[in-house]
Amino acid sequence: MARILLTGGAGYIASHTAVALVERGHHVVLLDNFANSERDVPDRLRRLTGKLFPVIEADIRDVKAVTDAMQAFPVDGVIHFAALKAVGESEADPLLYYDMNIVGTIRLFEAMQQANVRRLVFSSSATVYGQPDHSPILEDAPTRVNNIYGRTKLVMEDLIRDLARTGKLLSAASLRYFNPVGAHPSAMIGETPSGVPNNLMPYITQVATGERPHLNVFGNDYDTPDGTGVRDYIHVMDLAHAHALAVEHIIAQDVSLTVNLGTGVGISVLELVHAFERATGRKIPLNIAPRRPGDVTSYYANPAMAEAILGWKAKLNVDDMCRDAWRWQAKRAGINDV
Ligand code: NAD
Ligand code: UFG
């Protein structure tokens, strides 16, 4: 049983990870500045799990506040989720992304050193592969950056490797997520994009509630079986479970690793839409639109390393992802026939 601090703890993936950690008997401390999350998330987590979570409202760039938090609640390790994550915004405001993601991470690590916390799990992204030469992608595939958000992830991965190599961190796991979707099956926590969603699944669910008239399919002339982009969608509860196993692994051993977290299955935009229609009985009107600049054609993970090292494998399928994403969005929209 360990005590773990989650930076960005009220966010989408962290809140689900908090549930997975508690289910495995761990204690969780949440730290967030609520820049991109709702203030009642800790209370919803309390109702969902029956546990009270200490909540520290702080910015990861505030070394004193974060050090104080780790001294008040001594932890065995940190899972570092806090970041900005919108690709378009990163290109529009590079300094903001360098500051929040890279400077923020350096400040967090300073606080960890001051509090002598030396075990880390880090939220990386499959975006570090850019457009890969082929899929499934193994962890030793070349990394390529095609936007500033992706670059911040690569810089942070390198920083973590250097800290592990020089003994500043005893152990570290960089987890390269593919495309997280869905929500906890209770529909008590989920993803809350602000404004118009950038990502496919939240957009589909908002079309299903009637908040948006149709889905724009960004390109149907890609070199894929049906012409639309292919991704490896992973249920956020599977992802959450992987974090619990990763944190147990890095607490038990002085090791460092970089692993893919995906299902290994590539799914096109149209396949996801059809799966959603099947799972929910809702029709999604489509509009074929031009390609979105910067999008890659296709990628999906080879998740064998996560299975070999962590004993983790995704269990939930695309129907589960669609059902749970829909339950969450329907509940928020006040639709009760789900
Ligand atoms: P999210 O925005 O829901 O969660 C991030 C949380 O961090 C938010 O609650 C936000 O308020 C908080 N935060 C941001 N800046 C902060 C700061 N300076 N100090 C303290 N708190 C701060 O995002 P998410 O989807 O849960 O993503 C979590 C992590 O996973 C991020 O690092 C993201 O880059 C990475 N990731 C996400 C995806 C995805 O598709 N969701 C894919 C790959 C990687
Ligand atoms: N798409 C549409 N219409 C939309 C939204 C998306 O057709 O309204 C298409 C895209 O063109 C792409 C696919 O749906 O082919 C998936 O797009 P997402 O925006 O959901 O996901 P991406 O793979 O483009 O990017 C996401 C995150 C990145 C992260 C990456 C890998 O946005 O931050 O996954 O984890 F880096």
pLDDT tens digit sequence for 189-209: 999 988 899 999 999 999 999
Ligand 1 pocket residue status of 17, Cβ below 6 Å: no
- Quote the mean pLDDT of the chain: 97
Measured by CA distance, the residue closest to atom 44 of ligand 1 is 125
- Nearest-atom number in ligand 2 for the CA of 291 is 11
The Å distance, Cα 109 to ligand 2 centre, comes to 30
Where, residue-wise, is CATH 3.90.25.10 in the chain?
Answer: 200-231+264-333
pLDDT classification of 146: cutoffs 50, 70, 90: confident
Where, residue-wise, is CATH 3.40.50.720 in the chain?
Answer: 3-181+233-261
Q: Which of 12, 129, 149, 233 is catalytic?
A: 149
Average pLDDT over residues 162-166: 98
**Contact predicate 200/272, CB 8 Å:** yes
Contact residues of ligand 2, CB 6 A cut-off:
85, 87, 125-127, 177-179, 198-200, 203, 215-218, 229, 231, 269, 292, 295
The Å distance, Cα 163 to ligand 2 centre, comes to 31
pLDDT classification of 35: cutoffs 50, 70, 90: very high
The Å distance, Cα 327 to ligand 1 centre, comes to 22
Ligand 1 pocket residue status of 33, Cβ below 6 Å: yes
Average pLDDT over residues 314-324: 98
The Å distance, Cα 281 to ligand 1 centre, comes to 31
pLDDT tens digit sequence for 231-247: 999 999 999 999 999 99
Output the pTM of the full model.
0.98
The highest-level CATH class for domain 3-181+233-261 is alpha beta
Considering the domain 200-231+264-333, what is its CATH architecture? Alpha-Beta Complex (3.90)
Q: What is the C-alpha R_g of the chain?
A: 19
User: Which of 87, 97, 123, 147 to probe ligand 1 with, by most ligand atoms within 8 A of CB?
Assistant: 123
3-state secondary structure of 143: coil
pLDDT classification of 336: cutoffs 50, 70, 90: confident
Active site residue 149: yes
Q: Which long-range contacts (CB under 8 A, 24 or more apart) does 115-118 make?
A: 115/67, 115/70, 115/71, 115/74, 117/5, 117/70, 117/75, 117/76, 117/77, 117/78, 118/168, 118/169, 118/170, 118/171
3-state secondary structure of 212: coil
DSSP 73: S
